[in-house]
Structure 1
Amino acid sequence: MTRARLYGRWPPPRGGLVREWGEVVPAWVPVLGGRRVRPLAAVVPALLGAAALFGLPGWACHAQAAELGAKRV
């Protein structure tokens, strides 16, 4: 049985939580390889993604409840 069948399409994440990947850019990455990752380089995209994931559905529910897209006759 293959991993794809065991886990569906993607295998579960592993390794990234115990390796130093979040601290230093892997050496195989062109130009940036071996450099330290600044915390804000990870925090800012994560916050923007979280805001989008929570904000857009909240705005959609508000817009539907307030009938913002309804055509008035």
Structure 2
Amino acid sequence: MPVIWLLIVGAAAGFLATRLMRTELGVVETIAVGMAGAVIGGLVLRFLIAMTGALAGLVGAVLGAMLLLWLWQVYIRRK
């Protein structure tokens, strides 16, 4: 069940992050970015704010995914 929840939160976070950052990615990349963002953002948010719950996880996942997309745009894709 945790893997399914990670996929759902990752898909939602990746979708929101790609829309907020105006980045076009495929479905697999969007979910991967969201999952990675969920891990990064969830750890950072829980460490700094010490909040728990689904809403905090989603907010952290979106913030982490946005950070990952920004780093990808700046250092890897270099427009």
The TM-score with structure 2 as length reference comes to: 0.31
Which of the pair is proportionally richer in helix? 2
> Taking CA–CA contacts closer than 8 Å with sequence separation of 6 or more, which of the two structures ends up with the larger relative contact order?
2
From the CA coordinates, give the structure whose radius of gyration is larger.
1
The TM-score with structure 1 as length reference comes to: 0.33
